[in-house]
Amino acid sequence: MRILISRLSALGDTVCTLPVAKALKAKFPECHITWVVDPRFAGIVECSDSVDEIVRCKPSFSVSSLPSFPSPFDLALDMQGLSKSALVVWRAKAGRKLGYHWQREVARFFSQPVLPDPSSVHVVDQYVDVARCAGADVVDAQFGLEPKEEDRTAMRQLLSDSGISGPFVLFNAGAGWASKRWVPSHFATVAELLAAKGVQTALIGGKAPADQEAAQQVVDACPVPVANLLGKTSVRELVALISLSNAHVGGDTGSTHVAAALGVPAIGLYSITKPARSCPYGQIHRCHYSPVALAEILPGDVYRTVWEAIS
Protein backbone atom coordinates (compact mmCIF):
# COMPACT_ATOMS: atom_id res chain seq x y z
CA MET A 1 0.00 0.00 0.00
CA ARG A 2 1.35 3.42 -1.00
CA ILE A 3 0.27 6.52 0.95
CA LEU A 4 0.97 10.18 0.22
CA ILE A 5 0.79 12.88 2.92
CA SER A 6 0.86 16.50 1.78
CA ARG A 7 1.69 18.79 4.70
CA LEU A 8 4.21 21.43 3.73
CA SER A 9 4.32 23.84 6.67
CA ALA A 10 4.75 25.20 9.28
CA LEU A 11 6.91 23.73 12.04
CA GLY A 12 4.25 23.23 14.71
CA ASP A 13 1.61 22.12 12.22
CA THR A 14 4.00 19.59 10.74
CA VAL A 15 4.63 18.18 14.21
CA CYS A 16 0.91 18.00 14.91
CA THR A 17 0.38 15.99 11.70
CA LEU A 18 2.91 13.28 12.64
CA PRO A 19 0.27 11.12 14.41
CA VAL A 20 -1.42 10.61 11.04
CA ALA A 21 1.65 8.82 9.68
CA LYS A 22 2.09 6.92 12.95
CA ALA A 23 -1.53 5.72 12.94
CA LEU A 24 -1.45 4.62 9.31
CA LYS A 25 1.83 2.77 9.75
CA ALA A 26 0.44 0.99 12.81
CA LYS A 27 -2.65 -0.12 10.87
CA PHE A 28 -0.81 -0.97 7.65
CA PRO A 29 2.73 -2.00 8.72
CA GLU A 30 3.82 -2.86 5.18
CA CYS A 31 2.68 0.44 3.68
CA HIS A 32 5.09 2.93 2.14
CA ILE A 33 4.44 6.49 3.34
CA THR A 34 5.69 9.44 1.29
CA TRP A 35 5.51 12.90 2.89
CA VAL A 36 5.76 16.12 0.87
CA VAL A 37 7.10 18.96 3.03
CA ASP A 38 8.59 22.44 2.77
CA PRO A 39 12.41 22.08 2.93
CA ARG A 40 12.51 24.40 5.96
CA PHE A 41 10.58 21.86 8.05
CA ALA A 42 11.85 18.60 6.57
CA GLY A 43 13.93 18.00 9.72
CA ILE A 44 10.74 17.25 11.61
CA VAL A 45 9.69 14.55 9.16
CA GLU A 46 13.23 13.15 9.14
CA CYS A 47 12.73 12.38 12.84
CA SER A 48 9.49 10.46 12.23
CA ASP A 49 9.65 6.71 12.80
CA SER A 50 6.80 6.13 10.34
CA VAL A 51 7.72 8.00 7.15
CA ASP A 52 9.57 6.04 4.46
CA GLU A 53 10.23 8.78 1.92
CA ILE A 54 10.48 12.56 2.12
CA VAL A 55 9.86 14.83 -0.87
CA ARG A 56 10.95 18.43 -0.35
CA CYS A 57 8.76 20.93 -2.14
CA LYS A 58 8.79 24.73 -2.18
CA PRO A 59 5.87 25.42 -4.49
CA SER A 60 5.44 28.58 -6.51
CA PHE A 61 2.87 29.70 -9.05
CA SER A 62 4.60 27.50 -11.61
CA VAL A 63 3.28 23.94 -11.94
CA SER A 64 6.87 22.86 -12.61
CA SER A 65 7.68 23.59 -8.96
CA LEU A 66 5.37 20.76 -7.87
CA PRO A 67 6.72 17.25 -7.44
CA SER A 68 5.79 14.53 -9.88
CA PHE A 69 5.15 10.96 -8.82
CA PRO A 70 6.03 8.17 -11.25
CA SER A 71 4.02 5.56 -9.35
CA PRO A 72 0.39 5.82 -8.23
CA PHE A 73 -0.75 5.88 -4.62
CA ASP A 74 -3.55 3.98 -2.98
CA LEU A 75 -4.30 6.94 -0.71
CA ALA A 76 -3.40 10.65 -0.82
CA LEU A 77 -4.04 12.98 2.10
CA ASP A 78 -4.13 16.78 2.01
CA MET A 79 -3.43 17.57 5.66
CA GLN A 80 -3.09 21.33 5.17
CA GLY A 81 -6.12 22.39 3.17
CA LEU A 82 -4.42 25.11 1.12
CA SER A 83 -3.80 25.45 -2.61
CA LYS A 84 -0.14 24.48 -2.27
CA SER A 85 -0.90 21.23 -0.45
CA ALA A 86 -3.93 20.47 -2.61
CA LEU A 87 -2.01 20.84 -5.85
CA VAL A 88 0.48 18.24 -4.62
CA VAL A 89 -2.43 15.83 -4.15
CA TRP A 90 -3.81 16.85 -7.54
CA ARG A 91 -0.52 15.85 -9.18
CA ALA A 92 -0.66 12.40 -7.60
CA LYS A 93 -2.58 9.51 -9.05
CA ALA A 94 -4.42 8.00 -6.10
CA GLY A 95 -7.38 5.69 -5.69
CA ARG A 96 -8.66 7.75 -2.78
CA LYS A 97 -8.03 11.38 -1.82
CA LEU A 98 -8.98 12.70 1.61
CA GLY A 99 -8.35 16.02 3.30
CA TYR A 100 -8.36 17.89 6.60
CA HIS A 101 -11.80 19.42 6.97
CA TRP A 102 -10.76 23.10 6.98
CA GLN A 103 -10.18 23.43 3.25
CA ARG A 104 -9.40 26.85 1.87
CA GLU A 105 -8.54 28.38 -1.50
CA VAL A 106 -8.82 25.61 -4.14
CA ALA A 107 -8.27 22.68 -1.76
CA ARG A 108 -11.91 21.58 -1.76
CA PHE A 109 -11.73 20.70 -5.45
CA PHE A 110 -9.03 18.04 -5.05
CA SER A 111 -9.86 15.94 -1.98
CA GLN A 112 -12.81 14.82 0.10
CA PRO A 113 -12.92 16.72 3.42
CA VAL A 114 -13.18 14.58 6.54
CA LEU A 115 -15.40 16.20 9.13
CA PRO A 116 -13.98 15.80 12.66
CA ASP A 117 -15.73 13.85 15.36
CA PRO A 118 -17.58 16.20 17.75
CA SER A 119 -15.22 15.08 20.52
CA SER A 120 -12.15 16.10 18.50
CA VAL A 121 -11.43 19.60 19.77
CA HIS A 122 -7.64 19.64 19.55
CA VAL A 123 -6.20 20.03 16.07
CA VAL A 124 -4.14 16.83 16.52
CA ASP A 125 -7.33 14.85 17.09
CA GLN A 126 -8.91 16.46 14.03
CA TYR A 127 -5.91 15.40 11.94
CA VAL A 128 -6.12 11.87 13.34
CA ASP A 129 -9.78 11.73 12.31
CA VAL A 130 -8.55 11.78 8.70
CA ALA A 131 -6.39 8.73 9.43
CA ARG A 132 -9.40 7.03 11.03
CA CYS A 133 -11.45 7.69 7.92
CA ALA A 134 -8.67 6.03 5.93
CA GLY A 135 -8.99 2.90 8.08
CA ALA A 136 -6.56 3.47 10.95
CA ASP A 137 -7.46 2.38 14.48
CA VAL A 138 -6.45 5.17 16.86
CA VAL A 139 -7.22 5.49 20.55
CA ASP A 140 -4.51 7.93 21.63
CA ALA A 141 -2.48 9.99 19.17
CA GLN A 142 1.18 8.97 19.04
CA PHE A 143 3.78 11.18 17.36
CA GLY A 144 6.70 8.85 16.74
CA LEU A 145 9.14 11.78 16.88
CA GLU A 146 12.63 10.45 17.57
CA PRO A 147 15.72 12.70 17.69
CA LYS A 148 18.81 11.50 15.88
CA GLU A 149 21.60 10.41 18.22
CA GLU A 150 24.22 12.39 16.28
CA ASP A 151 22.11 15.51 16.82
CA ARG A 152 21.81 14.80 20.55
CA THR A 153 25.61 14.51 20.70
CA ALA A 154 26.01 17.85 18.92
CA MET A 155 23.49 19.50 21.24
CA ARG A 156 25.23 18.20 24.35
CA GLN A 157 28.34 19.92 23.07
CA LEU A 158 26.44 23.13 22.35
CA LEU A 159 25.04 23.12 25.89
CA SER A 160 28.50 22.56 27.34
CA ASP A 161 29.95 25.36 25.22
CA SER A 162 27.12 27.61 26.43
CA GLY A 163 27.89 26.95 30.09
CA ILE A 164 24.90 24.70 30.74
CA SER A 165 25.32 21.60 32.87
CA GLY A 166 22.74 19.82 34.94
CA PRO A 167 19.00 20.44 34.70
CA PHE A 168 17.83 23.17 32.34
CA VAL A 169 14.60 24.64 30.99
CA LEU A 170 14.13 26.04 27.49
CA PHE A 171 12.29 29.31 26.84
CA ASN A 172 10.88 30.40 23.50
CA ALA A 173 10.11 34.10 23.82
CA GLY A 174 9.25 34.51 20.14
CA ALA A 175 6.16 33.83 18.07
CA GLY A 176 4.78 34.67 14.66
CA TRP A 177 2.58 37.43 16.07
CA ALA A 178 3.56 40.00 18.69
CA SER A 179 0.30 39.28 20.53
CA LYS A 180 1.50 35.70 21.10
CA ARG A 181 4.72 36.77 22.87
CA TRP A 182 4.88 36.79 26.64
CA VAL A 183 6.47 39.79 28.39
CA PRO A 184 10.30 39.43 28.36
CA SER A 185 10.57 40.55 31.99
CA HIS A 186 8.18 37.74 32.95
CA PHE A 187 10.50 35.19 31.34
CA ALA A 188 13.39 36.81 33.19
CA THR A 189 11.59 36.46 36.52
CA VAL A 190 10.96 32.75 35.91
CA ALA A 191 14.63 32.28 34.98
CA GLU A 192 15.72 33.99 38.21
CA LEU A 193 13.39 31.82 40.32
CA LEU A 194 14.65 28.66 38.63
CA ALA A 195 18.27 29.71 39.09
CA ALA A 196 17.64 29.92 42.84
CA LYS A 197 16.75 26.19 42.65
CA GLY A 198 19.85 25.31 40.63
CA VAL A 199 18.07 25.09 37.28
CA GLN A 200 19.57 26.91 34.30
CA THR A 201 17.67 28.35 31.36
CA ALA A 202 18.32 28.78 27.64
CA LEU A 203 16.49 30.60 24.88
CA ILE A 204 15.54 29.02 21.57
CA GLY A 205 13.71 30.34 18.55
CA GLY A 206 13.99 31.37 14.95
CA LYS A 207 16.27 33.76 13.12
CA ALA A 208 13.56 36.37 12.51
CA PRO A 209 14.54 39.82 13.82
CA ALA A 210 11.44 39.91 16.06
CA ASP A 211 12.43 36.61 17.70
CA GLN A 212 16.01 37.76 18.14
CA GLU A 213 14.83 41.02 19.69
CA ALA A 214 12.47 39.23 22.10
CA ALA A 215 15.24 36.88 23.22
CA GLN A 216 17.69 39.71 23.76
CA GLN A 217 15.12 41.55 25.86
CA VAL A 218 14.87 38.49 28.12
CA VAL A 219 18.66 38.34 28.46
CA ASP A 220 18.86 42.06 29.23
CA ALA A 221 16.09 41.86 31.84
CA CYS A 222 17.47 38.83 33.67
CA PRO A 223 19.90 39.23 36.62
CA VAL A 224 21.13 35.64 36.11
CA PRO A 225 22.78 34.17 33.01
CA VAL A 226 20.45 32.91 30.28
CA ALA A 227 22.05 31.17 27.30
CA ASN A 228 20.89 32.54 23.95
CA LEU A 229 20.81 29.62 21.48
CA LEU A 230 18.73 31.28 18.77
CA GLY A 231 19.99 30.49 15.29
CA LYS A 232 22.45 27.87 16.55
CA THR A 233 20.43 24.79 15.63
CA SER A 234 18.89 23.19 12.59
CA VAL A 235 15.32 21.95 12.87
CA ARG A 236 16.56 18.43 13.51
CA GLU A 237 18.98 19.69 16.15
CA LEU A 238 16.16 21.64 17.76
CA VAL A 239 14.28 18.38 18.23
CA ALA A 240 17.37 16.87 19.86
CA LEU A 241 17.93 19.91 22.08
CA ILE A 242 14.35 19.91 23.34
CA SER A 243 14.59 16.17 24.02
CA LEU A 244 17.52 16.86 26.39
CA SER A 245 15.69 19.57 28.33
CA ASN A 246 13.73 19.21 31.54
CA ALA A 247 10.89 21.46 30.37
CA HIS A 248 9.88 24.00 27.74
CA VAL A 249 8.08 27.32 28.27
CA GLY A 250 6.55 29.15 25.32
CA GLY A 251 3.45 30.41 23.63
CA ASP A 252 1.57 29.16 20.60
CA THR A 253 4.68 28.38 18.59
CA GLY A 254 6.36 25.42 16.93
CA SER A 255 8.82 24.39 19.62
CA THR A 256 5.97 24.04 22.12
CA HIS A 257 4.49 21.30 19.94
CA VAL A 258 7.90 19.65 19.52
CA ALA A 259 8.20 19.42 23.31
CA ALA A 260 4.75 17.88 23.60
CA ALA A 261 5.50 15.35 20.86
CA LEU A 262 8.65 14.30 22.71
CA GLY A 263 6.86 13.97 26.04
CA VAL A 264 8.83 16.86 27.54
CA PRO A 265 6.84 18.98 30.02
CA ALA A 266 5.50 21.87 27.94
CA ILE A 267 4.18 24.93 29.72
CA GLY A 268 1.99 26.81 27.25
CA LEU A 269 1.07 30.50 27.43
CA TYR A 270 -2.11 31.52 25.62
CA SER A 271 -4.38 34.48 25.09
CA ILE A 272 -5.65 35.01 21.54
CA THR A 273 -5.66 31.27 20.82
CA LYS A 274 -7.61 28.77 22.91
CA PRO A 275 -5.57 26.06 24.64
CA ALA A 276 -8.25 23.42 24.06
CA ARG A 277 -7.50 23.47 20.33
CA SER A 278 -3.80 24.33 20.14
CA CYS A 279 -2.15 23.57 23.49
CA PRO A 280 0.82 21.20 23.72
CA TYR A 281 -1.00 17.95 23.09
CA GLY A 282 -1.96 16.12 26.27
CA GLN A 283 -0.64 18.86 28.52
CA ILE A 284 -3.49 21.33 28.85
CA HIS A 285 -3.09 21.04 32.64
CA ARG A 286 0.25 22.84 32.27
CA CYS A 287 -1.16 25.73 30.23
CA HIS A 288 -1.86 29.27 31.38
CA TYR A 289 -4.57 31.27 29.66
CA SER A 290 -5.77 34.86 29.91
CA PRO A 291 -8.62 36.12 27.72
CA VAL A 292 -7.35 39.67 28.26
CA ALA A 293 -3.66 39.53 27.31
CA LEU A 294 -0.57 37.39 27.78
CA ALA A 295 0.87 40.01 30.10
CA GLU A 296 -1.86 39.10 32.59
CA ILE A 297 -0.29 35.65 33.05
CA LEU A 298 1.94 36.09 36.10
CA PRO A 299 5.51 34.75 36.21
CA GLY A 300 5.06 33.34 39.71
CA ASP A 301 2.23 31.12 38.50
CA VAL A 302 4.26 29.92 35.52
CA TYR A 303 7.27 29.21 37.72
CA ARG A 304 5.17 27.03 40.00
CA THR A 305 3.91 25.02 37.04
CA VAL A 306 7.47 24.53 35.75
CA TRP A 307 8.75 23.51 39.16
CA GLU A 308 5.93 21.01 39.68
CA ALA A 309 6.74 19.49 36.30
CA ILE A 310 10.47 19.04 36.88
CA SER A 311 10.82 18.46 40.61
How high is the pLDDT of residue 199? Answer: 98
**pLDDT at position 240, please?**
98
Domains 2-133 and 150-310 are alike in CATH topology? yes
pLDDT tens per residue, the chain (311 residues)?
999 999 999 999 999 999 999 999 999 999 999 999 999 999 999 999 999 999 999 977 678 889 999 999 999 999 999 999 999 999 999 999 999 999 999 999 999 999 999 999 999 999 999 999 999 999 899 999 999 999 999 999 999 999 999 999 999 998 777 778 999 999 999 999 999 999 999 999 988 898 999 999 999 999 999 999 999 999 999 999 999 999 999 998 999 999 999 999 999 999 988 999 999 999 999 999 999 999 999 999 999 999 999 99
Please give the pLDDT value at position 63.
80
> What is the C-alpha R_g of the chain?
20
State the pLDDT at residue 309: 98
Beta partners for residue 32, in sequence order: 2
**Domain range list for the chain:** 2-133, 150-310
Give the right CATH number for 150-310 from 3.40.50.2000, 3.40.190.10, 3.90.550.10, 3.40.50.720.
3.40.50.2000
**What pLDDT score does 175 carry?**
79
Task: Please name which of 310, 47, 275, 296 lies closest in space to residue 201, comparing C-alpha atoms.
Answer: 310
**pTM of the model as a whole:** 0.97
CATH superfamily of the domain spanning 2-133:
Glycogen Phosphorylase B; (3.40.50.2000)
Q: How far is CA 163 from the centre of its chain?
A: 27
* CA-based nearest residue to 124, from 271, 218, 256: 256
Give residue 293's Cα distance to chain centre. Answer: 23
